[in-house]
Amino acid sequence: MIGVYRPGDSLLHRMPAGLKLALLIVSIVTATVLVRSPLVVVIVGVAVAGLFAVAGIPWKVVVAQVRPMVWMLLIIGAFQVLLTSPARAVVVCGVLLISVALAALVTLTTRVTDMLDAVTRALGPLRKIGVDPERVGLLLALAIRCVPLLTEIVRDVAEARRARGLQWSMTALVTPVLVRALRTADAMGDALAARGVDDD
């Protein structure tokens, strides 16, 4: 499963969630701004792979984190080759892959509750201007939960179509996925309303 916490006792597991989230943001921004050549992409990629090794994350799990990006990277890479150059395509796709890998590393080594607590504490001073940290934390929790949920819906629909021997079609895949996603969103909304989340 994408981004599901894996218990461990590594240095990365023991780091405070707030520090990891801050380092994640700084790392992604730095990579986006400073990485300008394929060689640097390779060096940074090796460093990120080393972080996964330090965290004790199995390579099968690492591959599962980035596998959903393969088709998107191929499309983006093809456009970059056509519009710019192969070197630029490597840089753009490499930075995207590194960013997703770093985000996956944080979620794999950090409990969701710890991340939500860190976000809530960080947003605490914004109460003065009307921001509700608990509501933002809830929104983040729902977003994190919906990523694997949507992946599961897509997989179920694709498997159902294969079982029926139907030909592959983007429209035939997207339509039932969208319908199921909307129904799930309605059910989640009803559950939250029943628990008084919308009450002021």
- pLDDT digit string, tens, across residues 7-37: 889 999 999 988 998 898 899 899 888 888 9
pLDDT at residue 151, as a whole number: 67
Cα 59 from chain centroid (whole Å) = 18
Tokens of 47: 């460093």
CA 2 vs CA 15, 36, 59, 105: distances in Å = 21, 29, 13, 10
> Is the pLDDT assigned to residue 95 strictly greater than 90?
yes
Instruction: Supply the pTM of this predicted model.
Output: 0.72
- C-beta separation of 102 from 66 below 8 A: no
Report d(CA 77, CA 93) in Å as an integer: 6
In the chain, the N- to C-terminal Cα span, in Å, equals: 36
